[in-house]
Chains A and B, each alone.
Chain A
């Protein structure tokens, strides 16, 4: 199976702080991968590097065989931690914006999802609640038929009902050949959907494998393993 993502000795520093330290990791196509680690472990930094929002200090990064650039951004669908909308825009304008720039954007799917949620397309972003903004953002991101989805803490700070909706949306909208990289520290909620996991701490990746192996070989759930590994 080909790899959608290859990081080779990737390093990222913020001043003197090392956020990612010589990270080498590969992610195969067609999998749901959990990027798991405590707060400040480097999850968001790695995702931003893949999304092309940060420039690495060292190492190489290949997405579908190419270095980050317009071609890789065309196949990545990125959900950041916080809303990135222009508050003066209406939802229908955001839909047009996505349809204009992303060839893989499925307008029908987006309209249906918004309709299912009972969100009006005429609503202005600034009038929406935080939860609704997050839902709209998720709808836009998951309405793309992207090769790689980068979901940065998609379920952090939302209520359990919203978590279920988010997980359902992710699972029902991604293609078989697509890859999803989900960063979170809330393992229990996503464990059942993950194929693989990557444990990251202090900018280092120190464990990677399949969730099935954890269950069969170690007789533990991923959440139990996480608590054991990251015990304070």
Chain B
């Protein structure tokens, strides 16, 4: 059932997002064309016509660049709006009469949000790359790529290829944990605001998000500080070797993942409980 819920939710978000994705690619193409035109047209001629053209092309470039940011904002808002509409408006009458558990409904919402945020990230990265390829000269791009390659090589030589791969995996997993934490926190804030507030649900939800985020962040910082103090008690500055520093970095990343992953899990169960036991659709 989770798979079916995910499939339908992913498609429902996609009904708007595919169109936005096509639009953002089109505006990026337009922006790139404007950059090429600005580079290739001779604007030295003193003519009002050329001044106007230059202004239009510059504005098109700026607007298409801003469209990429707008796409990310619209996409994120669309995902959270879908959660609210599908669960707490009239659509909730269908969603909550499906033969599935509340935790499965919530799980599918999280999975589709992760999938769409990743897709939005990929579309944005592609658009930025297109801009970069168009705007930068070839030597600058190859210099950038060379520097990136050198950075990876230096890191691999310093810690070893295996260690570097482990670091990258840990960073990806820890980042994913924070993304999931943010998603479930926003969802929980929306649920809580819908249950407790009869009016001004949006403001209540936003306040709820900031307050809970602050409280969880304080808790995580305190826990992280305690574990750092404990682990640093086992060695002195003189005993710091390359291996110890490397091990300490692994501990920090794993700790980061565990704390945010733990917070996300706790919020997941709390929100599932709210949806099952406290939700009363009007």
Which of A25-33, A77-85, A207-215, A224-232 lies on the face that meets chain B?
A77-85
Instruction: Give the complex CA separation of A168 and B277 in angstroms.
Output: 37
B93-101, B114-122, B176-184, B252-260 - the one binding chain A: B93-101
**B95-134 vs A, Cβ < 8 Å mask (1 yes, 0 no):** 0111111000000000000000000000000000000000
B99 touches which of A53, A71, A93 (Cβ 8 Å): A71
Give the interface size class of chain B: 20 to 34
Cβ–Cβ contact A76 & B279, under 8 A = no
Q: A86 vs B78: C-alpha distance in the bound complex, in angstroms?
A: 14
The answer to whether A82 touches B90, judged by C-beta atoms less than 8 angstroms apart, is: yes
Contact (A86, B86) CB under 8 Å given A53-B96, A100-B8: yes
Q: For the complex, give the distance between the alpha carbons of A137 and B277 in Å.
A: 27
Segment 57-96 of A: residues with Cβ below 8 Å from B: 69-71, 73-74, 76, 78, 80, 82-86, 88-89, 93
Contacts of B218 in A (CB 8 A): none
Query: Is A51 an interface position by the 8 A CB rule?
Result: yes
| Neighbouring B residues of A83 by C-beta, 8 Å | 90
Q: In the docked arrangement, what's the CA distance between A54 and B280, Å?
A: 5
User: Which of B94, B100, B281 has the largest number of chain A CB atoms within 10 A?
Assistant: B94
Residues of B within 8 A of A74 (CB): 99
The CA-CA distance from A85 to B278 in the complex, in Å, is: 23
Kindly report which residue of chain B lies nearest to residue A124, judged by CB atoms. B15
Cα of A196 to Cα of B90 in the assembled complex, Å: 30
The interface residues of chain A lying within 8 Å CB-to-CB of B97 are: 51-53, 73, 76, 78
A70 to B97, CA, bound (A): 8
A86, B93: Cβ atoms closer than 8 Å: no
Rounded to whole Å, the gap between the CB of A99 and the closest CB of chain B is 10
Chain A residues with CB below 8 A from B90, complex form:
80, 82-84
Contacts of B280 in A (CB 8 A): 14, 53-55
1/0 contact string of A1-32 vs chain B (CB within 8 Å)? 00000000000001000000000000000000
Complex: chain A residue closest to B94, CB-CB? A84
For window 35-62 of A, CB contacts with B under 8 Å fall at 48, 51-55
CB distance from A93 to the nearest CB of B (A): 8
* CB–CB A84/B93 < 8 A: yes
| Across-interface contacts of A78 in B (CB, < 8 A) | 93, 97
B residues near A14, Cβ cutoff 8 Å? 280
CA distance A130 to B100 in the complex (A): 29
Is B39 among interface residues, defined by CB-CB distance under 8 A? no
Q: For this complex, into which size category does the number of interface residues on chain A fall?
A: 20 to 34
With a cutoff of 8 Å between Cβ atoms, the chain B residues found around residue A101 in the complex are 1, 4, 98-100
Cα A71 to Cα B97 in complex, Å, equals: 11
B144 interface contact, C-beta 8 A:
no
Residues of A with C-beta under 8 A to B101 = 69-70
Min CB gap A60→B, angstroms: 15
Nearest A residue to B278, CB-CB:
A55
Please give, as numbers and ranges, the residues of chain B lying within 8 Å of A48 by CB-CB distance. Answer: 281
Compute how far the CA of A48 lies from the CA of B99 in the bound complex, rounded to whole angstroms: 15
B91 in the interface, Cβ–Cβ < 8 Å? yes
A 89-128 to B, binary, CB cutoff 8 A, 1 in contact else 0: 1000100010011100000000000000000000000000
Within 8 A of A (CB), among B55-103: 85-86, 90-94, 96-101
A118 to chain B, nearest CB (A): 24
A85 to B94, Cβ gap below 8 A?
Answer: yes
A86-B12, A100-B4 known; A52-B96 Cβ under 8 A: yes
Interface residues of B in 5-19 (CB under 8 A from A): 8, 11-12, 15-16
In the complex, what residues of B have CB within 8 A of residue A89's CB? Answer: 12, 15
Contact: A73 with B16, CB < 8 Å? no
Q: Which 6 A-B pairs have the closest CB atoms?
A: A74-B99, A84-B93, A84-B94, A73-B99, A80-B93, A70-B99
B: which residues have CB within 8 A of A?
A: 1, 4, 8, 11-12, 15-16, 85-86, 90-94, 96-101, 277-281
Q: What are 19 inter-chain pairs, A to B, with CB distance below 8 A? A: A48-B281, A53-B97, A54-B281, A55-B279, A55-B280, A70-B99, A71-B99, A73-B98, A73-B99, A80-B90, A82-B90, A82-B93, A86-B12, A89-B12, A89-B15, A100-B8, A101-B4, A101-B100, A102-B99
